[in-house]
Each structure stands twice: as C-alpha cells, then as structure tokens.
Amino acid sequence: MLKLLKRALKVSLLPAVLMIVVKFVAVFGLAFLQDFDYSIGNNFYGLFTVQVYFDNPITTTYVNSISNFILLLAIGIPTFYLHVKEFYYRKAQGNPKTIVKLTNLNLLKWITSQKAGFLNAFIWTCFFWVTSAIILSSTMNSETYLWIGAISALGIVLSAWGLLTTFELETARIYPEDKHGYL
C-alpha cells in the first residue's frame, strides 16, 4: 500500500504544479499582453486570500475566462492523451489488427512501452475534474463565459467515460472472463 501511495503522490505532482503555473502564467500573461491595469491585494475572507484585481468587471471576466480555458486545455489534453494511449495499449494486447493499424500510423511506441497505466489516467482525470468543477463554479457565478463552462461540462462527461473504459480494460486484464462458465 505504501508503494502505491508513493507512486500516486509522484504522479500527482506534475498535474498539481501544472495547474498552479498555467493559471498564474495565463492571468499575468494576458494582463501583460493586453496591457491591463491590475493590482494585488489581500482578501481575508474565503479560501484564496491573495487576489488579483482588475480595473473593470469586463476585464476581470475576460481574463478569468481565457485563463480558465487555457487551464482546461493544459490539464485536459494530457488527460485525454493518457486515456487514448491506455485504450490502445490494452486493445493491442491479443489483437494483431490493432498492432498493424498502430504500426501504419507510426504509433507503435504506444504499445511497446507501458508508462501510462490506470493510476496515471485516474489521477489526471481527478485533476481534470477539479479543474472543471472550478470552471463550472466560476461559470455559475458569471465570472467565466458560458461556452467555456459548457466545454468543461462536456469534458467531465468524456473523461468519466474514458476513465470507465480504462477501468473496464484494467479489470478485464486482472479478472478475465471465464468462457466456459461454472460447471
């Protein structure tokens, strides 16, 4: 159990750091590129005490929306990549047609090295869900554009489906079906 916990913590470092760095760089990068005036202050109420304040609410909504969208892409793309990679890795085991198709597409490295695994897919999906929940909360508070909230909600559904598919493939590998039954 300790080994699994260490591996889970190791895998979760990259998405955690990526979330913080991408949001920070996106907010201040947009402020710098668009030449928005901002100030940093302390808010003693709530979860986040350090706040970035912009001059007008339209600018705040714009910067928050675009930075949320960049964050969603930064976490979502690796998550879906891991799900697709794991799906084809499991699909290729015992299926020569899939191996030939992956060879033709020059994606044979997906099935020759197993660096993804269910744990990676699960942890990245959890971080994607947290990111999407933050974006949906921000959308419901009218702090993010509605279309970004809709993409986030769609991403939650697709990532849940991908995680379920990965879980089914993983459990099928551990507990294969008995084709003869219990006679």
Query: Residues 110-149: pLDDT tens digits?
Result: 666 656 577 888 899 999 999 999 999 999 999 899 999 9
User: Has residue 180 got a pLDDT over 70?
Assistant: no
User: Has residue 153 got a pLDDT over 70?
Assistant: yes
Strand, coil or helix: 112: helix
Query: Biggest alpha carbon distance in the chain?
Result: 75
Of 76, 78, 82, the C-alpha closest to 132 is 76
User: Has residue 183 got a pLDDT over 60?
Assistant: no
pLDDT: which is higher, 135 or 167: 135
Distance CA 2, CA 126 (A): 20
Query: Residues 43-80: pLDDT tens digits?
Result: 767 666 777 888 888 998 999 999 999 999 999 999 98
Distance CA 138, CA 3 (A): 37
Q: What is the pLDDT of residue 120?
A: 86
Q: DSSP label at 42? A: E
Strand, coil or helix: 94: coil
Predicted TM-score of the model (pTM): 0.82
Q: What is the mean pLDDT of residues 75-88?
A: 86
